[in-house]
Amino acid sequence: MKTLVCITPGNFKYEGKLMPQPEQGMAIIKIKRIGICGTDLHAFQGNQPFFTYPRILGHELAGELISTDDAPDFQISESVTVIPYYHCGKCIACRGGNTNCCAVMKVLGVHQDGGMVEYLSVPAHLLVHGDGLSFDQLALVEPLAIGAHGVRRADVKPSEFVLVVGAGPIGLGVMEFARIAGAKVIALDIHAGRLAFCKEKLQVEYLINSSIENVFEKLQEITSGDMPTVIIDATGSLKAIENSFQYLAHGGRFVLVGLQKEAISFSHPEFHKREATLMSSRNATRADFEHVIRSMKNNLLNPLNYITHRVNFDQLGDKFESFLNPANEVIKAMVLLH
């Protein structure tokens, strides 16, 4: 079968590999769609934390189930997606139900080879029913689950102001699920095109372009001086994260979905006097996946809005670098197989 391997940063190579064979506790999926995410782009650039090469990328997946062991609720030929977070089931996080932050987590396409293949073997217990959704929709469940988990971590309440920093694919998912939770969403980004997308496709009412507007003053205006009670960062930018501390309401919660390599610095007195809460949000749980699927089926969001580019698998190696060019205005690139 054909695979696409990131040999070193900036270099892809197609290679032939043996088809996966049935194993105890494993399922084999015929891959139909692969969503390209920020992790894939960062890995290609060589700035993804916890990463080694060579590596087969890809973890936003949809496909057809062709073989399985120990998955009695699943039928051969049904459409599925997969939870790409391989957890141990034994550590303190897993024992507490927090499988998304397992102490020895291995993420598909990051810590071990992922889904840029024609056929993929995965643990059967990580299968997720397609439930009638299309392959395009199913490949978008995982990135949307990241946003849904961040909103759940923030415990977003109806009618509170939620500032989402970063209007990339993960940030868009955060906005969607904050809206579904009943929040008043504020989108903050430096790209006018991304903000226009938020308004036109997601109906986000409040937009701030930090490259041309005074963010603090704009937030005061929008919130009548209260400032946002929830801030969720989806940029992974050190500057954006550190700037956001000053925007937080007293008693507010600041959730870091984005990941960057450096130490974060902020004023302890300012943070302390707010009795603020700082937390991270990593990956997602099966409950988040199921929440996303229910939301799609109930037409609470249209994930197909996000797909701006499509590419066949055999062209991906040549086209991949173009997804990094801001001029191409990529929201979500979708890879088609079979």
Task: Judge if 178 and 204 occupy the same domain.
Answer: yes
294 inside domain: no
293 touches 101 (CB < 8 A): no
Q: What is the pLDDT of residues 12-63, one digit of tens each?
A: 999 999 999 999 999 999 999 999 998 899 899 988 777 899 999 999 999 9
Task: Judge if 227 and 155 occupy the same domain.
Answer: yes
80 touches 62 (CB < 8 A): yes
Task: Judge if 119 and 188 occupy the same domain.
Answer: no
Task: Judge if 272 and 313 occupy the same domain.
Answer: no
Task: Judge if 264 and 306 occupy the same domain.
Answer: no
Task: Judge if 55 and 135 occupy the same domain.
Answer: yes
CATH code, domain with 56: 3.90.180.10
169 inside domain: yes
Q: What is the pLDDT of residues 238-268, one digit of tens each?
A: 999 999 999 999 999 999 999 888 899 999 9
58 inside domain: yes
172 touches 202 (CB < 8 A): yes
List, in order, residues 6 or more apart from 227 with CB less than 8 Å away. 161, 219, 220, 247, 248, 249, 250, 252
CA–CA dist 200, 205 (Å, integer): 10
Q: Is the pTM of this model over 0.75?
A: yes
pLDDT at 127 over 90: yes
Q: What is the pLDDT of residues 199-240, one digit of tens each?
A: 999 999 999 999 999 999 999 999 999 999 999 999 989 999
CATH code, domain with 185: 3.40.50.720
**What total of structural domains would you count in the chain?**
2
Task: Judge if 74 and 188 occupy the same domain.
Answer: no
186 inside domain: yes
Task: Judge if 255 and 171 occupy the same domain.
Answer: yes
Q: What is the pLDDT of residues 183-202, one digit of tens each?
A: 999 999 999 999 999 999 99
pLDDT at 72: 87
Task: Judge if 216 and 130 occupy the same domain.
Answer: no
290 inside domain: no
Task: Judge if 321 and 268 occupy the same domain.
Answer: no
What residues make up the domain containing 216?
146-280
Task: Judge if 50 and 157 occupy the same domain.
Answer: no
